[in-house]
């Protein structure tokens, strides 16, 4: 599937790669705004703690953007590399469970066979409440 | 905060979710990542007759409300959707949890065949188009009772789409008039549920039990308003709806709130709101943080789910590994609308009655058992079952299965009534005795309490004669043409006979004796 798509892409008229501006690239300069970083940090709970991390992110996005060079008009997207495999159907029998003790050992804190977690979802501090950090 | 997620993406590993569309379709107010185009595409369906939510105020544009219900229904199965852990209520915390359910690294989801069959059956019962190929996706959000950090669902291509459900509402001026209505079912999808969180605010902690989520049936409502002919309005999602009554109340409130807000020049935000039971209002749940983005992606561990029918079934396939839609269609029991129609045709009952019979668990079977054993007319049976029997059940909040009166007992009672051995009022007395669970049959009660109707016509004529002799004034009233006077006479005779005479026969005798 990839091979065929690439072939079509190469056969495309010499217009070069399509011009897309990625969502993260509103100015077209390849920089990512502080807002986007903040948004990503909240969504994925990662910490882009340094300028280098953000630069690495920008490079990763630019690398992925190369995919847009391929002309995929009229090509069905591949949903899964497993698309030719059969989805195995399990019989509705009870064959596992009953291992609370084992599972609870993984937890830092346990109360009467319950896992203990911090209360609710604690929002991350807002950008301006954080330590000053040069994003862009 | 992901508080809305607490009730949304609940796990239990064997859920089907149905999108039910009340009027027209909903436009999602703001895109949620890359899937926005597809959602909107599905939403902008052809014009549907719009329903006005309320009478328009004077001099103002009409408003139309659009309501969509999101229903989470738990599938009845032995094991979970993606693991072989047991499905059971009230088990010790975390005892029905496998390594996969605990989201330990390296574990993989394995689809439960029974859950797929249940989803297909549901889709067929709701007149849906069954997608022969459907896909699984991951919906990401963070919450303590979702240890994987995502829920496996069917966002892109669910197992069934475009169905409908016909129901009836009691309306109209005629008694027993039922108006048929249809609601569209947008889609049905299989999805995991989350675990259960117990919030301990005192100690600032949350206790998590990954056995299953709460509630076998949960509903969220999506509401928006707009002027007919104009585009759909921004929708809000209302959660924490714990009964049908609150569902109706919350939707009504939200419609009014949105109309007021818009008429005062405000705007509706695409947000999640919680229904406050005591105050009868909806309250915003959104926090000031960035919007929830579920980062939908295909579930990489599950290939597409392929279903077959009689024509496409591969001949050499392992029957355990393929699902035949036609075979499942044959396994469907008689659907309620067909049953109701049959009851109306077969027993001449009002449509309203057929609804009542089907809406109470076990009542239809009870009714049919009585019909089998009694000689009485079906209409009589219907009346007794729906009015008297059901009335007693409701008074004591009993299920049909807990009834002290068996179908045989009621059948015997109705036979006694039908053969005119006892009067209607005596029958009610017997029923009350039967309800006391003293183990007596209707026949025994009738003899013990001497409730048999007088069979001796001569003796009855004698009673009538003496009553008339003792009440000449009433007799005069009757002869004068007062229509109610004769009832008074009948009442007096009944009293004299200790209620052992059939009022209809009394009336007949009196009229004869009075030469009317």
ipTM of the complex: 0.70
Q: Closest Cα to residue B238, out of B256, B215, B226?
A: B256
| Nearest residue in chain A measured CA to CA from B80 | A92
Neighbours of B89 (CB within 10 A): 8
Contacts of A84 in chain B (CB under 8 A): 303
Distance CA B290, CA B272 (A): 13
pLDDT of residue B224: 96
**Same domain as B488, residue B390:** no
Does residue A109 have a pLDDT over 80? yes
More confidently predicted of B139 and B420? B139
**Same domain as B173, residue B228:** yes
In a domain, A49, yes or no: yes
In angstroms, the separation between the Cα of residue A17 and the nearest Cα of chain B is 21
**Same domain as B273, residue B373:** no
In angstroms, the separation between the Cα of residue B135 and the nearest Cα of chain A is 8
Kind of pairing, strands A89-90 and B111-112? Answer: parallel
Residue with tokens 């709970």: A45
> Which residue among B449, B479, B497 closes a domain?
B449
pLDDT class of B11 with cuts at 50, 70, 90: very low
Contacts of B208 in chain A (CB under 8 A): 114-117
pLDDT of residue A124: 63
Strand partners, B241: B219
In a domain, B483, yes or no: yes
**Same domain as B262, residue B113:** yes
Does residue B221 have a pLDDT over 90? yes
For residues B261 and B269, the answer to whether their CB atoms sit within 8 Å is no
In a domain, B303, yes or no: no
CATH of the domain at B461: 1.10.10.410
**Same domain as B489, residue B370:** no
Structural domains of chain A, count: 1
In a domain, B165, yes or no: yes
Angle between helix axes B472-480 and B457-470 (nearest 10 degrees) is: 90
**Same domain as B367, residue B263:** no
Averaged pLDDT, B116-134: 97
- The three-class DSSP label of residue B96 is coil
In a domain, B44, yes or no: no
Domain that holds residue A34: 30-71
Mean predicted lDDT score pLDDT of chain A: 75
pLDDT of residue B248: 94
Alpha-carbon distances, residue B143 vs A122, B137, B196, B259 (angstroms):
10, 18, 11, 34
In a domain, A54, yes or no: yes
In a domain, B4, yes or no: no
In a domain, A116, yes or no: no
pTM of the model: 0.72
In a domain, B59, yes or no: no
In a domain, A17, yes or no: no
**Same domain as B269, residue B345:** no
| Nearest residue in chain B measured CA to CA from A113 | B93
User: Half-sphere exposure (CA, 13 Å, Cβ side) for B468?
Assistant: 21
Mutate to test the interface with A, among B8, B299, B304, B320 (most CBs of A within 10 A): B304
Q: Give me the percent of chain B exceeding a pLDDT of 90.
A: 58
pLDDT of residue B29: 28
Distance CA B454, CA B503 (A): 11
Q: H or E segment at B305? A: strand B305-306
Contacts of A24 in chain B (CB under 8 A): none
- Of A108-112, B201-205, B286-290, B444-448, minimum mean pLDDT range: B286-290
pLDDT of residue B257: 96
**Same domain as B168, residue B262:** yes
pLDDT in tens, B91-115: 999 999 999 999 999 999 999 999 9
| Nearest residue in chain B measured CA to CA from A125 | B289
Structural domains of chain B, count: 3
In a domain, B295, yes or no: no
pLDDT in tens, B422-459: 888 889 999 999 999 888 899 999 988 888 888 888 88
**Same domain as B245, residue B111:** yes
Contacts of A106 in chain B (CB under 8 A): 102, 104
pLDDT of residue A129: 55
Does residue B6 have a pLDDT over 60? no
- The three-class DSSP label of residue B411 is helix
Does residue A36 have a pLDDT over 60? yes
Domain that holds residue B500: 457-514
Among A6-20, A39-53, B57-71, B102-116, the range with the most confident prediction by mean pLDDT is B102-116
User: Half-sphere exposure (CA, 13 Å, Cβ side) for B357?
Assistant: 26
Kind of pairing, strands B205-209 and A114-117? Answer: antiparallel
Touching check for A76 and chain B: CB below 8 Å?
no
Nearest to B303 among A85, A121, A123 (CB): A85
Alpha-carbon distances, residue B82 vs A96, B182, B301 (angstroms):
12, 34, 11
Does residue B46 have a pLDDT over 60? no
**Same domain as B279, residue B238:** yes
Averaged pLDDT, B310-327: 93
Per the CB < 8 Å rule, is A79 touching B92?
no
**Same domain as B471, residue B422:** no
**Same domain as B404, residue B277:** no
């Amino acid at each position: 599937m990839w091979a065929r798509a690439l072939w079509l892409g190469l056969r495309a008229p010499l217009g070069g790669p399509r011009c897309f501006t990625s969502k993260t690239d509103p100015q077209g300069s390849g920089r990512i705004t502080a807002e986007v970083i903040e948004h990503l940090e909240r969504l994925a709970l990662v910490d882009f703690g340094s300028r280098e991390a953000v630069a690495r992110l920008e490079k990763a996005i630019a690398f992925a953007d190369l995919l847009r060079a391929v002309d995929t008009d009229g090509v069905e997207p591949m949903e899964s590399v497993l698309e030719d495999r059969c989805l195995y159907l399990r019989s509705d029998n009870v064959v596992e469970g009953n291992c609370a003790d084992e599972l609870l050992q993984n937890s830092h804190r346990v109360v009467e066979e319950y896992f203990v977690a911090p209360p609710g979802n604690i929002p991350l501090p807002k950008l301006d409440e954080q330590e000053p950090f040069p994003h862009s | 905060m992901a508080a809305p997620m607490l009730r949304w993406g609940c796990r239990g590993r064997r859920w089907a979710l149905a999108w039910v569309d009340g009027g027209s379709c909903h436009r999602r107010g703001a895109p949620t990542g890359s899937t926005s185009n597809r959602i909107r595409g599905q939403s902008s369906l052809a014009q549907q007759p719009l329903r006005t939510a309320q009478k328009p105020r004077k001099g103002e544009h009409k408003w139309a409300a659009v309501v969509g219900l999101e229903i989470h229904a738990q599938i009845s199965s032995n094991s979970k959707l993606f693991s072989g852990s047991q499905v059971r209520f009230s088990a010790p915390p975390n005892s029905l949890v496998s390594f996969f359910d605990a989201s330990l690294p390296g574990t993989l989801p394995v689809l439960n065949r029974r859950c797929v069959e249940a989803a297909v059956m549901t889709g067929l019962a709701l007149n849906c188009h069954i997608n022969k190929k459907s896909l699984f996706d991951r919906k990401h959000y963070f919450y303590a009772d979702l240890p994987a950090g995502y829920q496996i669902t069917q966002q892109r291509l669910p197992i069934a789409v475009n169905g409908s459900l016909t129901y009836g509402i009691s309306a109209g001026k005629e008694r027993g008039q039922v108006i048929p209505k249809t609601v569209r079912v947008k889609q049905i999808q299989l999805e995991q549920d989350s675990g259960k969180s117990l919030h301990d605010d005192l100690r600032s902690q949350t206790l998590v039990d990954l056995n299953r989520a709460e509630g076998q049936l949960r509903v969220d409502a999506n509401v928006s308003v707009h002027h007919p002919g104009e585009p759909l309005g921004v929708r809000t999602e209302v959660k924490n709806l714990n009964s049908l009554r609150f569902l109706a109340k919350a939707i009504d409130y939200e419609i009014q709130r949105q109309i007021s807000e818009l008429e005062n020049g405000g705007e509706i935000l695409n947000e999640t709101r919680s229904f406050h039971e005591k105050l009868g209002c909806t309250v915003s749940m959104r926090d000031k943080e960035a919007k929830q983005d579920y980062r939908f992606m295909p579930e990489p561990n599950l290939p597409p789910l392929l279903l077959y029918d009689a024509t496409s079934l591969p001949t050499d396939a392992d029957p355990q590994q393929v699902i035949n839609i036609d075979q499942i269609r044959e396994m469907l029991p008689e659907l309620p609308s067909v049953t109701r129609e049959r009851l109306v045709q077969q027993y001449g009952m009002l449509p309203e009655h057929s609804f009542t019979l089907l809406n109470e668990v076990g009542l239809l079977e009870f009714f049919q058992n009585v019909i089998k054993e009694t000689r009485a007319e079906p209409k009589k049976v219907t009346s007794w079952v729906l009015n008297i029997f059901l009335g007693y059940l409701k008074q004591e909040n009993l299920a049909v299965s807990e009834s002290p009166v068996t179908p045989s007992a009621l059948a015997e009672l109705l036979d006694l009534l039908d053969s005119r051995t006892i009067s209607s009022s005596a029958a009610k007395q017997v029923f009350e005795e039967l309800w006391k669970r003293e183990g007596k049959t209707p026949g025994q009660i009738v003899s013990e309490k001497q409730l048999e109707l007088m069979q001796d016509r001569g003796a009855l004529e004698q009673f009538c004669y003496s009553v008339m002799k003792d009440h000449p004034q009433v007799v005069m009233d009757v002869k004068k043409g007062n229509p109610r006077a004769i009832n008074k006479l009948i009442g007096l005779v009944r009293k004299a006979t200790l209620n052992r005479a059939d009022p209809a026969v009394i009336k007949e005798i009196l009229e004869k004796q009075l030469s009317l």
